Chain A
Amino acid sequence: GNSVTQMEGPVTLSEEAFLTINCTYTATGYPSLFWYVQYPGEGLQLLLKATKADDKGSNKGFEATYRKETTSFHLEKGSVQVSDSAVYFCALSQGAQKLVFGQGTRLTINP
């Protein structure tokens, strides 16, 4: 079946550091790929998405590129802020089917 593997956390960085959270997936066909974010005390929010190979999703300074050859969708940000502290989930879906999530990565940014 489909699965998503995320970089294990927690991850702690200083403000303005470069961020990478690795995500790889296993799926048949061509899934859509997502990053969702959960800020402290809040619900899950879509951060960015990509629906086909080589697409780049971007939002709030975060980027991720759909790499079919490496079955990856790594999340990056050039300069993180304290407000980026949250739990990040990589996920995939095929059509309108269920989302399959990675285990989540807790990110803490220190000032």
Chain B
Amino acid sequence: GAGVSQSPSNKVTEKGKDVELRCDPISGHTALYWYRQSLGQGLEFLIYFQGNSAPDKSGLPSDRFSAERTGGSVSTLTIQRTQQEDSAVYLCASSPRTGDGTQYFGPGTRLTVL
């Protein structure tokens, strides 16, 4: 079946602009995660959604970052007033409710802030 999809695959923006990144999880997966992969910081957790529960936002680096998940499926990560240090690959993953913690990753969105 279809895996996790993300769009766009690449995004170049100017400092100060807002960006939206989209994630379509695997059908039926209730958990959805956002991570960021950058050269200096490795793989960092950003936010986690599980069903209708309140999301775990503990990894968001600043209040410029927010995410929502509509209808328990598609998620959008929004970065407001982008800064150069936001340049990274943003990864989305999903997993089923009952499982061993295995997460299935999308191809990522490469964000470049000029």
**Residues of A that sit less than 8 Å from B by CB:** 31-32, 34, 36, 42-46, 49, 51, 89, 93-104
**Residues of B that sit less than 8 Å from A by CB:** 31, 33, 35, 42-43, 45, 48, 50, 56, 59, 91, 93, 95, 97, 99-108
Chain A contacts for B59, CB-based, 8 A = 98
A104 touches B42 (CB 8 A): yes
Q: Known contacts A43-B91, A49-B100, A93-B101; decide if A98 and B45 are in contact (CB<8 Å).
A: yes
B43 touches A43 (CB 8 A): no
How far apart are the CA atoms of A93 and B45 in the complex, in Å?
A: 12
Chain B contacts for A45, CB-based, 8 A = 105
B43 touches A104 (CB 8 A): yes
Chain B contacts for A44, CB-based, 8 A = 91, 93, 105
CB distance from B23 to the nearest CB of A (A): 12
Nearest B residue to A100 by beta-carbon distance?
Answer: B45
Chain B contacts for A93, CB-based, 8 A = 101, 103
How far apart are the CA atoms of A44 and B105 in the complex, in Å?
A: 6
CB distance from A51 to the nearest CB of B (A): 5
**16 A-B residue pairings within 8 Å (CB atoms):** A31-B101, A32-B100, A42-B107, A43-B105, A44-B93, A46-B102, A51-B101, A93-B101, A95-B101, A96-B50, A96-B95, A97-B56, A98-B33, A99-B33, A99-B103, A101-B42
